[in-house]
Structures are given as C-alpha cells and as structure tokens.
Amino acid sequence: MSARQTPAQKKTVARVMHEFKHGELHQNDGSVVTDKRQAIAVALSEAGASDRVDEDTNRHNARRTADQEQRGVTARDLHEGTTTRAALYAEARRRDVPGRSKMTKADLQRALLK
C-alpha cells in the first residue's frame, strides 16, 4: 500500500485513536489496549493501510471496518450512545447474545462490550 492514506482511511485511523485515547479500544481477548504502538497497528489494520499484510487482506479489512462503521457497532458508537436500541439488538442477534429480547439499551451495550 502506498504511504498516503485515503480520506476514509484517515477517518478510520482517527476513530480508532479516539477509542484508544478514551480507553475504549479492546484487543480480541477483551482486554483494553494500553500501548500506543499497538493502537496504531490496530488503526492501520482496520483502515486497510497496513504494510504488514498483502493488498487483498487490506481491502478485506477496510471493507469489514466500513461495514461496522455503517452499522454503528464500533466501540466509540457503543460507548457514546450514538446507536439505537434496534441497531444494538441487530448486532446482539448477529452475535447470538442470550436473553437479548428482554434487555434494555444499556444492557445490550454492556453485553456487546464483553
């Protein structure tokens, strides 16, 4: 990938670094990312701008991230409450969260952050 980032990639990197700054960026195991270098690596990977993987993987990562941002299931959206209960419920259904039908919006947010 070239050294220059597209505007969409810059937006994704900015969102991920915002999540890191506010302690909302999590690793796959659920622990919070505390190292700035790790946060930068996650940001570049999500934006599809990493030089550590091939072009196809970068395109796949960028597409997946764009889909998540469009659905409103990023950590920033979940923490700042910009998602609706319906969007949270749809994501809970996709992840097969048990007991989701009786959960409030706050309950769904907590369940999705686990």
Tell me the H-state helices in the chain.
7-21, 36-47, 55-71, 75-80, 85-95, 105-113
Return all residues near 11 (Cβ < 8 A) that are at least 6 apart: none
User: Which phi and psi angles does 109 have, rounded to 5°?
Assistant: -60, -45
Question: pLDDT at position 77, please?
Answer: 65
Q: What is the mean pLDDT of residues 25-54?
A: 89
Query: What confidence tens digit (pLDDT) does each residue in 67-83 have?
Result: 877 776 676 666 666 67
